[in-house]
Structure 1
Amino acid sequence: MNVLIVEDEALAVQKLTKLLRETAPTLNVVGVTDGIETTVEWLTSHPSPDLIMMDIELSDGQSFEIFNLVEVDCPVIFTTSYDEHALRAFKGNSLDYLLKPIRRDELDQAVQKYLRIAARRVTSADIGHLVQDLRKQGSGHEVRTQFLVREGQRLIPVETAQIVCFYAEDGQTYLLTRNRIGYTVEYTLEQLEEMLDVTQFFRVNEQFIVAQSAITATHSSLNGKLKLELKPGPGREVLVSPDRVERFRIWKGN
């Protein structure tokens, strides 16, 4: 399997190459690039690699820009010096995120994850969504742990761990708790996507954001959709739209 390394520090390239050879001897480093321009040039003039190891901070900018300039349709393992909080947010993705200095055991886990999903096609849309999430983390995005909701004349906190789903209906947004209590919230689903832990919540369609811990079963449905069973259920059908199915499966880890 062929690997492209995108890294602007020579010593980091040497160390990563050594770790890759120790972790998976079948992996073959077919190229090394050190910036946005050189990476785009390499990707447009060579066959797509099977895997890319990509540093986020490059000499000529952040590697996110690469995805605006060329289509990338293979798995990517990002490497970075971002903090542990940002690192934890992406352990659930098939496209992984490793903190520098890279540890042998973590690299091994990331490579093994890649090998498990190698047969599944990863699209540029999958990577695009991960890049958006990484940008949120890199910009100081803080995950909400609770929401204030109105109960009669008072405001009460609802912990995100107690939320089954958020849904939009008739121009209003609601959340449903594990106690089967529904509340209105003063945010759109788009705004909520910016606030929630991306490893714990997923927007399955235009109307629903669901909590991973609330999903009890997944079933195939018509037209390429997936039907979800939530506990407790919101009293309406919850479907994963066809364009989100592959990312949902990656998010769920199956």
Structure 2
Amino acid sequence: MKVLIIEDEFLAAKQLQAMMLECDPAIEIVGVLDSVESTIQWFNTHPSPDLLLADIELADGQSFSVFEQIEIKCPVIFTTAYDEFALQAFKVHSVDYLLKPINEEALRKSLLKFYELKKLYGTSTASIDIKMLATLLRDSTVPSDTYRDRFLLRQGSRLLPVEVNEIAYFYTKDRVTFVKTWDKRILSIDYHLDELEKILHPKQFYRANRQFIVSPKSVNKIHIHFHNRLKLELSPVNEEEVYISREKSTDFKTWMGE
């Protein structure tokens, strides 16, 4: 099976290739492209692959632009950082999608779905209207500016505006949520971690466990612990020990860029 990948993040593309071959060694990666322009050029000079994996957000625009400019006849699996609720349109139109950070189990399930659809419909796309899908997604997704870029935080009797990029991690202690900034300030915040998880960009922060949401730069060291758990050393230092469960360890390592 010939697969074309559209992904503008080098590490993500490399990881995706490796996971594809782990899922099915018979897969042939015929190309890895990083932009709308290069994808259009590729399709104009190459036969259609059997399957296309396309990131939605590329450096020069959304990959939907490709489908609006040329006819794509192969099935598509989209990869995206959009939240699951916003992507119900994909299920309705029988196009699968992978939420970033992508793990091997999710990829394997998507490939199995593709194989089943291929048995039913052969090499056709089962009359999926990609242009309609693009419109539905644009109309239904949460806009990127929904993710918070600043918070108003408490410090004693004062309220301080703090940019998200000033925050190393969020954590809870004694049922109170705090942020720790890069300059080692500890400030309270009127959100639970469950709420923060929904309004922080998934590329910038990861829910490590019930007590911590961390940024990648805050992870100073990662130790392999008992039962394949991971122990994190954070910077700035936190007195609490931070663990990643065995179930989440693969997902976390992928998010960190393994």
Structure 1 length normalisation: TM-score? 0.54
Q: What whole-Å deviation, never above 9, does each CA across 1:32-63 have from its counterpart, x for those lacking one?
A: xxxxxxxxxxxxxxxxxxxx73369xxxx711
Match of 2:164 in 1: 160
Cα distance change of structure 1 residues 53 and 145 upon mapping to structure 2, 3 Å threshold: same
In the TM superposition, 1:143-158 aligns within 5 A as: 143-158=147-162
Give the number of aligned pairs: 169
Distance apart, 1:168 and its partner CA? 1.6
Equivalent residue in structure 2 for 1:247, among 241, 246, 251 = 251
**Structure 2 gap segments, 5+ residues each:** 6-38, 53-74, 80-87, 111-136
CA distance in 2, matches of 1:126, 1:186: 39
Match of 2:106 in 1: 124
Cα distance change of structure 1 residues 155 and 205 upon mapping to structure 2, 3 Å threshold: same
1:205 aligned to 2:209? yes
Distance apart, 1:170 and its partner CA? 2.2
Structure 2 length normalisation: TM-score? 0.53
In the TM superposition, 1:31-110 aligns within 5 A as: 53-54=76-77, 62-64=89-91, 93=101, 95=102
Asked if the contact 1:227/1:238 (under 8 Å) is kept, the reply is: yes
In the TM superposition, 1:159-178 aligns within 5 A as: 159-178=163-182
Asked if the contact 2:170/2:177 (under 8 Å) is kept, the reply is: yes
Equivalent AA in structure 2 for residue 149 of structure 1: L
Cα distance change of structure 1 residues 204 and 66 upon mapping to structure 2, 3 Å threshold: farther
Distance apart, 1:162 and its partner CA? 1.5
Aligned residue for 2:254, secondary structure, equals helix
Asked if the contact 2:177/2:192 (under 8 Å) is kept, the reply is: yes
Distance apart, 1:190 and its partner CA? 0.8
Distance apart, 1:28 and its partner CA? 5.1
1:139 aligned to 2:131? no
Equivalent AA in structure 1 for residue 89 of structure 2: Q
Q: What whole-Å deviation, never above 9, does each CA across 1:173-211 have from its counterpart, x for those lacking one?
A: 111111222111110111101111111100011111001
Residue range with higher mean Cα deviation, 198-207 or 169-178: 169-178
**Structure 1 gap segments, 5+ residues each:** 6-14, 32-51, 79-89, 96-120, 129-133
Match of 1:214 in 2: 218
Aligned residue for 2:50, secondary structure, equals strand
CA distance in 2, matches of 1:250, 1:143: 22
Cα distance change of structure 1 residues 127 and 179 upon mapping to structure 2, 3 Å threshold: farther
Asked if the contact 2:51/2:76 (under 8 Å) is kept, the reply is: no
Match of 1:85 in 2: none
Distance apart, 1:2 and its partner CA? 4.9
